[in-house]
Homo-oligomer: A and B are copies of this chain.
């Protein structure tokens, strides 16, 4: 199978996994940078993640323009993806979701920081981007490259960004890593909220050194092992074979 065919299969699997694990629902999307042309990326036409088939995958320029002659309707918010690929050459995959435990943190401006080893891939802290700051009253959707670029600026060199009143976006050096981080951002938010409800003493987050220890070994067995074991497990749960 060609690289691009494999990536398309992985995008379809990623969408189904994230739907099955309740990270995305009718909304949310997964993209991957084009393997032969870093100025393009692969993303489904506008469709609910669980319903996506290989034929739905479109090729888009970083500014969101479809290939000539492709008249299918892309996601309105494709600029989230293009702006991150433009700003971050090492990023190979982006996931945007409205997963439920993450949103409350953006509503009260409480930072999300990793509380377990599995969410060390989030980095030290997930910053908050608010459309109000630069764009005033909008419908909060990322409807232009200007908005996407502003969001990517807030994300800076990190792997995730909270979007106030909307959801969150994460990235990774592979689809597997981006899916893993999207999943554990949700898990981490849920645990952090529970800890905040219990707390008589401050929550103990991972130390900077612990986060460094985890991030530095991505692709080197751990959490690389984790990506792969989790991916296989999630595929099984989502009914994906082969």
Chain A interface residues toward B at CB < 8 A: 25-27, 46-48, 50-51, 76, 98, 100-101, 103-105, 107-110, 115-118, 120, 130, 132, 136-141, 164-167, 187, 190-204, 206-207, 209-210, 212-214, 217, 222-223, 225-226, 229-230, 232-234, 236-237
Q: Which B residues lie within 8 Å of A198 (CB)? A: 104-105, 107-108, 110, 193, 196
Q: Which B residues lie within 8 Å of A117 (CB)? A: 139-141, 165-166
Q: Which B residues lie within 8 Å of A209 (CB)? A: 136-137
Complex CA gap A78/B67 in Å reads 51
Distance from A196 Cβ to chain B, minimum over Cβ atoms (Å)? 6
Q: Is the CB of B51 within 8 A of A132?
A: no
With A101-B194, A109-B204, A116-B165 as known contacts, state yes or no: A234 contacts B139, CB within 8 Å.
no
Q: Is the CB of A104 within 8 A of B194?
A: yes
Distance from A62 Cβ to chain B, minimum over Cβ atoms (Å)? 23
What are 9 A-B pairs at a CB distance below 8 A? A25-B233, A51-B233, A76-B225, A98-B116, A110-B199, A116-B166, A137-B210, A165-B206, A197-B197
List the number of copies, as a whole number: 4
Distance from A73 Cβ to chain B, minimum over Cβ atoms (Å)? 9
Q: Is the CB of A118 within 8 A of B103?
A: no
Distance from A51 Cβ to chain B, minimum over Cβ atoms (Å)? 6
Choose among B46, B108, B109, B138 the residue that contacts A229 (Cβ–Cβ < 8 A): B46
Q: Which B residues lie within 8 Å of A105 (CB)? A: 198
Chain B, Cβ-Cβ closest to A167: B116
Complex CA gap A104/B120 in Å reads 16
Complex CA gap A222/B138 in Å reads 12
Chain B, Cβ-Cβ closest to A194: B104
Q: Is the CB of B107 within 8 A of A232?
A: no
Complex CA gap A165/B117 in Å reads 6
Choose among B109, B217, B237 the residue that contacts A139 (Cβ–Cβ < 8 A): B217
Choose among B27, B107, B226 the residue that contacts A27 (Cβ–Cβ < 8 A): B226
Q: Is the CB of A236 within 8 A of B201?
A: no
